[in-house]
Each structure stands twice: as structure tokens, then as C-alpha cells.
Structure 1
Amino acid sequence: MKSLKARLTTLVLLLLALTSGCSAQSVPLTDEELQAIPAPPREFRAAWIATVANIDWPSRPGLSVDEQKAELLRIMDRAAELNLNALIFQVRPACDAMYQSSLEPWSEFLTGTMGKAPEPFYDPLAFAIEEAHRRGIELHAWFNPYRARHPQGKSAISADHISKKRPELVKQYGKYLWLDPGEKAVQDHSIAVMLDVARRYDVDGIHIDDYFYPYKERGPDGKILDFPDERSWQEYRRGGGTLSRDDWRRENVNAFIRRLYTELRKVKPHVKFGISPFGIYRPGCPPGIQGFDQYSELYADARKWLHEGWLDYWTPQLYWKIESRAQSYPVLLRYWVQENRQGRHIWPGNFTSKVLEDWPVSEILEQVRVTRQQEGASGNVHFSFKALQRSQALADGLKELYAVRALPPASTWLDDRPPARPTLELSVEPDGLSVTARWKPGDEERPFLWVLYTRPGGQWKTHVLPGAYREAKLQLSGADEVEYAVAIAAVDRCGNEGPKAGLKVQLKKAGQ
């Protein structure tokens, strides 16, 4: 089998042309010809890689470094095979780190012991970013902003964990340890952790999910426990606060979301901020919807965040079947699209792992189709990656749906300046059996992706390539005379496609 490096260095595309010696001269495509090239497909195709409790990676704590890397490479290869263009990698399961951090300890879900670094040393986040980008895939870092200890945590808590360093900020709540969102120092710490990653790592996104104030826990007597935030609540009241306790809790989360989005824009403007809330805003929104009320239970005023535009993409967890009446996938998707006043990306989350239980694969495939049919929605995020590895029927279905690679939708509110036009050269190889296209960026900025357009005859084909590519070898076979064309365009970190450079060439048999 060819090495990954070899496969990623040279792209081989089959085109119609001659099988014998030939002569050729390339000429530029006219502006009209360039404008006639169809736009590439755009769709966000992503999956979550959950590390908490070793859901997706690593398969268990304490694997060797080689085993950890091999498992992560299998994930990356599967993502590329399915033509995904983004992965959402959980790097902070519970105030710990799947990367080297001076702010929080190494995660026990990685090494088996909280605070213990991998041996021999490597940085899983840096490794994941490098391997994803090598394949032209975005890597988003996924954080839990408030969870401090998960029930699946088994090792001793290390001395550098926040529950040891700042115990007054951490509350025992049922089976969990939880940061108190009402403490300003909690907001400071969690935002510092996320911005530290944005500064030091080449991530494409910062992502948080549906855990704000915790889902309700019950005590030994079976009664629902109230979250123990009396200290921060009384401090708020002493400071002259007049909100009700529920509204105060919601405002604590609002302030966190608003501040994180504002500060991330200053630190690294091209990094997208995504939120994946519980899929129902409130029962009755829209009419007929029933179920859990995140507004009153998690103190998450999720609709407000979308209305205000304090995010770049919105991934509501629509974890129900299409046919469900009380929690209808298409009805909830339409609701969130209609609430999208600021024109952010709507990329719903799908409970894809249910195909490993009792859902038919056809349910997830149809949900992707429903999303495509809904104007204003432009992608899907699958929970979680293990389903894409363990269900071959699902993988085969997604291969059909995602048959052609797609660009992520552009985030023009972050940056709408397209990259420069590249330079392009075509050369016919001496054997007359192949043409090599070579290109260079039009300026010093390295593109994140390239779109290579080829026209073997009358129809354009689109190929999305990683930004490190600088050439493609086009193998030829089978016609007496053919004109074909090649065009190339750069795509930046915000998804903007720049102007195309294009050439066409006539190939004829030698002596004609």
C-alpha cells in the first residue's frame, strides 16, 4: 500500500486524452470561460470525537502512545474516506486537558492517571490538527466549560486540578463536580483555558456543547437537588442585584457566551465559535413541541445567543427521528433556521450513534437529506465518530451522500476578503500519457484548501485539495484529439474562494 505521504503528495485524476506521443500548448481560459465554471459544492460535514469516558478516543485509558496515534489515524483516514471536512475533538472533558497545558492537568481518559503526561511525550491536539489539516479537514477544539469531574473518572485528582487549587469555585452536585457559573473567577478561568488553545494551536474552531448549569441530579432520597450556588447568589444580592435567582443564573451563562465570543474575535479572528445546545429551546417552541426545557433546567437562554449572533455556527442537538411528533427533526430544524436573525451557520447535530442500537441507517441518511432540503441549513454534525467506524452500512450510505468533496460554507462576517489568484502551469510529460498541473499561491498567505477544476471534454469536475498541495498529475487515456482545461482557486480559513487561474490545452497525436 502506498504511504500516506505518497498518496497526499500527488493527486492522480483520470482524464480523456491520448495514449500515444503528443504535442500540446496551453492557453489561458478567458474570463467568460472562468465565470462559466460551476461553483463547488458547499456543506459542513462533521463528526464529534468524544474523549470523555473514552467514548470515541482513545478506546481506553493508558494505551501506549503508538496505539493512541494509530487509533487517531484510523479516525482521520475514515473521515477522509467519507469526505468529511471537519472534526470536533473533545479536548477538555472535565477541567482537564487532552493537550499540554499550564492551566489544567492531563486528562486521565488519556493516560489513566490525571496529571500524567503521555510517555514518550506527544501532544494529542497538535497531532490531531496536523493530521486533519494534512487531509484538508478542519479541526475544532471542543470544551466543557463547567464540568469539573465526571462519574467515570477513577484516578486520584491531581494537585493542579481546579478542585484542589480553587475549591471554593467547585461544587459537589450529585455524582459530579461542577464549576459554579455564578463565580466571576470561573468565567475567567474557563475563558482563559479556551483562549490559550486558540492562541497556541492552529485550530479552526472553538466548540462548546449543552452542559451549562448541570442536568438535574437526585439525592439519596430521590428528590431533585438544587445546584449549591448559595455563596455566589448571596454575593450577587449583596452587590445590589435585583434579578430572580433563575434569571441571574441565565445571565451568568449569557455573560460567559458573550464574553467568550468577543474575546475570541480579538485573539484569532478566523477561528469559528460553535455552540451545540439541547435541541429544544422550550416546550411549545414551536407549537406542538414537547420535552425538556433547557431554559428553566439548564438556565440556557439558547435562542438569545442565536438572536444576538454570539456564535458563528449553531448545532442544536436534534436527537429525534423525523417521524416523531413531539420532537420532530424537520420541525425543530425549521424553527432554528427561522430564529437565525444574524445569518449564522445552522449545522444540526444528529444522533448517529443510535444506528448502533435500534435506529435504521436510513433514518440518519434521510436526516441529512432533510437538512439539505431546508433552506438556511447547510450541514450536519454526527454524534459520535464510533458509529462511522463500526457501522459499515452507515459508512456506505454516507459515501453515497458525500460522494464529492465539499467546501465548508464561508463565514463572511469573520472575513470576506478572498485570497489572491494563484499562478498555474501545465506541462505534458515526455511519455505523452500525463499532464502535470503546478500552482503557487498568489501571495504569502498559505491557503487552507485548493479547488482544482478539470474539464476532460465538456463537463467540469471539482476536486477539493489540502492547502499543502502544489501539483496534481493528470493521467490520460483514450481519445484521438481532445481539449481539456484546468483551473485552480485558493480557499482561505474562513471559506472564501479566491479568483481562479485557468489554462486549456489541445492534445494531438504526434505527426498530425
Structure 2
Amino acid sequence: MILKKSCFYQKIITAFLIVFFMLLLTNCSKKVYTPTVVKRVAVKKTTNTEIKKRNAPATEREFRAVWIASVANINWPSKRGLSTEEQQKEAIELLDLLHQNNFNTVILQVRPQADAMYKSDLEPWSYYLTGTQGKAPSPYYDPLEFWIYEAHKRGLELHAWLNPYRAHHTAGGEITEASIVHKNPKLVAKLETGFWWLDPGNKKTQEHSYKIVMDIVQRYNVDGIHFDDYFYPYPSYNNNKDFPDDKSWKNYLNSGGQLKRDDWRRDNVNTFIEKVYTNIKKAKPSVKFGISPFGFWRPNYPASVTAGFDQYSELYADAKLWLNKGWIDYLTPQLYWPINRTDVSFPVLLNWWNQENTHKRHLWPGMSIGRIKGDEGIDEVINQIMITKGMLSKSPGAVHWSIAPLIESPKLMEAIANGPYKKQALVPGSPWLHNSKPEKPTLAYAFKNDSLFINWSSKNSDKVANWVVRYKYNNKWDYSIHGRFTNSHKLPLTLNDSKKVLKAIAISVIDKFGNESLFEEIPIAKVSTRIKD
């Protein structure tokens, strides 16, 4: 059958529509399908609410993300110097694993040490790709571009994860002439353990890191920009000595600065965070900005945290302020402790952050899924996921550190995929960014033997993130979520030895802000009209 929104001039265009639809069907798969039944139908227009009254499912919404680290070749690529084919093969295997188990987001580290896992005119190619900083993959390809395409093909979001201030890692190989350590030594400080760090107090450092972010936002179709907990370095990186920023501190004082040194350092980071957020929204509002700070703000916040690391005074990271000000779209505090640890309990910390979420941004905690081994560890992960579903019911989600335990423990992956992630889920929308519904897609369908073939399209395909295909067998609705490049779906007319019969379908489009279009319930009834040769 052929479905068209308007029935005007049907007699004139019938032949054209039949030929057009037959061409569309050639894209359903590699095999060319010739429809045996074609017929126009009138469709009753309905709203989302009306369909839900008929028990059409609301698609699950949940942020299901994993970190994929490139620094020190932790996750990808598995080692330096792999061929282009090997790098791409590993990437596809990781993406397939996530897609097949109903995850929906990848947070990929693309700037591990003032370098680039992508083509950049601002920083050199990463050592972790080829084993030589500044050397491009061979045969040439752009890894970030590849990851984005393959993620979107599977309906996954891709967030680019950057370290804004780390200039060189101890596992980062030789410092070459391409490194910022050599090219702009005034911006960096050497730490006693071998790290090199960009000085956040230097305005040129802030401008350089800002340009890196905006270059990615403007040139790549990323869904998010992500920072982790490395702002000023952990004290242990400099043998617990103070960060060596005397020169930038004196310049600040000489310019008339009035802040105390700790407050000045925090202000350097705060100013950078606000600038990044503000300008991402100006350039490309659909790109989410997220940060994953240390798990608690300060000791005694909440009261159960009586001791421990103080990110506020040691990393100069005021994550509470960023959340209170709404300078982020999602916060991912690294809650890497178990539920039953009384001083840093996972749900207690999550609740504290949730109370600070005055702008109602997304709060998607980071979970360490590999620290506890065996069945006890699996139980802990499942329970933590369920806590986020309960406490953050309007926008549930979590980010898993890292993808490695999911690979190494098929039992863990199976427990997640058959438990809390059993059904596919869309990423929750971000209504503070944009909340208008996209236009409904247009669609056509036809019968072939015992199946229904559906094709759809949108006038604004560049703004599409996902498609949702809903289908009703007997009186029960279900759905499947597709990536932006998919435009067809095959449904059997009957299930379970003909006991369940396909009764209706509905197609909707999800835009890059997470907004869903209205959709129409389309009754399905197999007809006998056939195309004549």
C-alpha cells in the first residue's frame, strides 16, 4: 500500500506514487523487494494523548552512557600504532556491544593531553593513535568523524570528552616539537611526577582551551562536550606541593586583582566554564555540555562525609556553583562508592547533588562498575541503576566507568541488558534548550508476502537524532528506536504462529534536543488489490 498525507488529485498522481514507492522500497535492504499489495488509505489524525489512551507505549527515557578512554590506551584504541582498519574494527565492536545491549550514549575521550584524536589545526595528532605525536593515521581517516557516523548509525549519541588543562601525561610518550610544551612553553608548568599542566591562571591558556572546544563544536556533529574532574591537578601529581603558578598569580596582582589566591584559582576555572557553556549555546544550542567532577563537593556536604578529598580547595573546582548557576546541561558526579558505605553512600551523595540542582538540569551520576567483582559487583551495579531510576524519575540516567568491565564480564553485561536496560530508551530531552515538537515524518508502506515494509522521511533530516517505530499486535503496543540514517523497517504480519496479528503502526521523529513529534496511529489491514504486470 502507499500512504500519502494528502489525497488531492489522486487519480492524476496514482501511477507516479506507485512507481515512486517501488523505488523507495529498494532501500529497505540490499535485496530489492517488490510489493505485492499497494493501496492508498485514509488515516485518522490523532494526537499523542489520544494514542496513549489506546495503550500506545511512551518510549522509555534514560541516559545510558559509558566512558571510552584513549589516554594510556585504556579502552580505545587498545594499543598504539594499530592500522586504520584495526582501529575502526575495534571501534565498531565497541559500538555494536553498546547498541545490542540498549545503551544510547558514548563519551569518547578525544583530547587526552593537549592533543587530538581527530584532525586539528590547533593541536597535534595524539600519541595514543599512532605512537608518535603529530603523526596521522595511515591510511588517513578522521577517528572522531568515524566514531560520530558509526554511533549515529546505531542511534547512539556521541559526546566528545576533553581534558581542558592536561598538557602531557606520564604515559604520553616523548614530548615532541609538536607538543604545546615546546610550542608554547609559557602556558605550561612541569609537575614533579612528570606531568605537564596548562596554567589555568594564564588568560592565553583559557583562550587556547576554549578554541579547542569551539573548533570541535563547529566542525563536528557531536551531541555533547564533556569535561572530567581534572582542572587544577590533583596535589599528588606535584608531590603534594602547591601548583607552580607564581608568574600568573603575580601578573594578576600587578593588574589590580583583589581576590585571595584560592579564590582567584577557582575564579579562573569558573570563568572558563561559564564562557564555554555560553558560547556552545550560541554556536550550536543542541550540543549538551556536561562535567563529571569528583563525587562530593566538600567534606561535610552532605553531613555523612566527615573527611576526604576536597575538590573545592585542591582542584579549585566549584561544581556546586556550576550546577546552581545552570552553566551545564548535565552533571555527572563520580559516585564511585557502594550503596552501603555510610560515609560516602551512593544514594546519599546523589540525593545531596539532586537538592543542589535548582535549575533542574540533568543529573546523571558516574558509576564505577568494575571495582567490586563477581556477583556482588553485579548486584551493586543493578541496584545503583535502579536507585537512579527511582530518585531521578523525570530524567534518569548514569555514566558507567568504563566500557572495559562490560567487555570483560559478559555476565555483568547480560545482567544489565536483561534487567534495567531491557528495553531501548531515548536520551531524555533538554527543555531549557528547546521544547518545540519537530514535524511529523512522512511515510509509506507496502506488503510483501507475510511482512509489512515501511519507509519514512523528514523534511529536516539534518535535525533528526532518532526515529521511533511503534507497532501494535492484537491490543499491545511496542516500539523500536532507530538511528538517524535508517529510513525503513520490516514487520511480520503475525507473531507466535499467527496468534498475534499486526493491527497498527505509528512513526515519530526525535530531534537533537530530544523532542518527539506527534504521530498518527495507522490501522493495518491486509488487502487483496495487487499490482498488475
Give the TM-score, by structure 1 length.
0.91
* CA deviation after TM superposition for structure 1 residue 424, in Å: 2.5
Relative to structure 1, the CA distance from residue 240 to residue 359 in structure 2 (aligned partners, 3 Å threshold; closer, same or farther) is farther
Question: What is aligned with 1:351?
Answer: 368
- Secondary structure at 1:500 match in 2: coil
Question: What is aligned with 1:41?
Answer: 60
CA–CA distance in 2 between the matches of 1:417 and 1:28? 24
Relative to structure 1, the CA distance from residue 397 to residue 357 in structure 2 (aligned partners, 3 Å threshold; closer, same or farther) is closer
Equivalent residue in structure 1 for 2:346, among 314, 325, 329: 329
Question: What is aligned with 1:388?
Answer: 406
Question: What is aligned with 2:43?
Answer: 28
Matched, 1:279 2:295: yes
Equivalent residue in structure 2 for 1:74, among 93, 107, 125: 93
CA–CA distance in 1 between the matches of 2:376 and 2:365? 18
Q: What stretches of structure 1 move > 4 A for 4+ residues in a row? A: 8-11, 21-27, 355-359, 442-446, 480-483
CA–CA distance in 2 between the matches of 1:173 and 1:359? 39
CA–CA distance in 2 between the matches of 1:60 and 1:480? 52
Relative to structure 1, the CA distance from residue 446 to residue 254 in structure 2 (aligned partners, 3 Å threshold; closer, same or farther) is closer
Query: Which residue identity does 2:46 align to in structure 1?
Result: D
Question: What is aligned with 2:178?
Answer: 160
Query: Which residue identity does 1:28 align to in structure 2?
Result: V
Relative to structure 1, the CA distance from residue 58 to residue 24 in structure 2 (aligned partners, 3 Å threshold; closer, same or farther) is same
Relative to structure 1, the CA distance from residue 269 to residue 389 in structure 2 (aligned partners, 3 Å threshold; closer, same or farther) is same
- Write the mapping of 1:218-297 to structure 2, written as runs, cut at 5 A: 224-290=240-306, 291-297=308-314
Relative to structure 1, the CA distance from residue 212 to residue 218 in structure 2 (aligned partners, 3 Å threshold; closer, same or farther) is closer
RMSD: 2.2
Give the TM-score, by structure 2 length.
0.87
Matched, 1:113 2:132: yes
Query: Which residue identity does 1:201 align to in structure 2?
Result: Y
Query: Which residue identity does 2:300 align to in structure 1?
Result: G
Question: What is aligned with 1:18?
Answer: none
| CA displacement, residues 176-209 of structure 1 (integer Å, 9 cap, x when unaligned) | 1000000000000001011101111111100000
Query: Which residue identity does 1:149 align to in structure 2?
Result: H
Question: What is aligned with 2:3?
Answer: none
Relative to structure 1, the CA distance from residue 260 to residue 52 in structure 2 (aligned partners, 3 Å threshold; closer, same or farther) is same
Question: What is aligned with 2:324?
Answer: 307
* 1:426 and 1:437 in contact (8 A); partners too: yes
Deviates more, 1:352-361 or 1:195-204: 352-361
Query: Which residue identity does 2:400 align to in structure 1?
Result: H
- Secondary structure at 2:370 match in 1: helix
| CA displacement, residues 18-44 of structure 1 (integer Å, 9 cap, x when unaligned) | xxx999875524526434333210000
CA–CA distance in 1 between the matches of 2:51 and 2:29? 25
* 1:480 and 1:509 in contact (8 A); partners too: no
Question: What is aligned with 2:522?
Answer: 503
- Secondary structure at 1:448 match in 2: strand
Matched, 1:65 2:84: yes
* 1:25 and 1:506 in contact (8 A); partners too: no
Relative to structure 1, the CA distance from residue 97 to residue 302 in structure 2 (aligned partners, 3 Å threshold; closer, same or farther) is same
Query: Which residue identity does 1:96 align to in structure 2?
Result: D
| CA displacement, residues 423-470 of structure 1 (integer Å, 9 cap, x when unaligned) | 2233222x2x11112222155654210111100110110211112222
Query: Which residue identity does 1:385 align to in structure 2?
Result: I
- Secondary structure at 2:493 match in 1: strand
| CA displacement, residues 28-62 of structure 1 (integer Å, 9 cap, x when unaligned) | 24526434333210000000000001110111111
Matched, 1:195 2:210: no
Matched, 1:104 2:107: no
Query: Which residue identity does 2:175 align to in structure 1?
Result: I
Question: What is aligned with 2:489?
Answer: 472
- The alignment covers a number of residue pairs equal to 488
Relative to structure 1, the CA distance from residue 131 to residue 23 in structure 2 (aligned partners, 3 Å threshold; closer, same or farther) is closer
Equivalent residue in structure 2 for 1:298, among 301, 315, 322: 315
CA–CA distance in 1 between the matches of 2:484 and 2:328? 26
Matched, 1:84 2:103: yes
Equivalent residue in structure 1 for 2:432, among 384, 389, 413: 413
| CA displacement, residues 269-307 of structure 1 (integer Å, 9 cap, x when unaligned) | 111000000011011111112421100110111100000
For structure 1, which runs of at least 5 residues remain unmatched after alignment?
1-7, 12-20
- Secondary structure at 2:469 match in 1: strand
Equivalent residue in structure 2 for 1:339, among 328, 351, 356: 356
- Secondary structure at 2:282 match in 1: helix
Query: Which residue identity does 1:203 align to in structure 2?
Result: V
* CA deviation after TM superposition for structure 1 residue 482, in Å: 4.6
Query: Which residue identity does 1:395 align to in structure 2?
Result: M
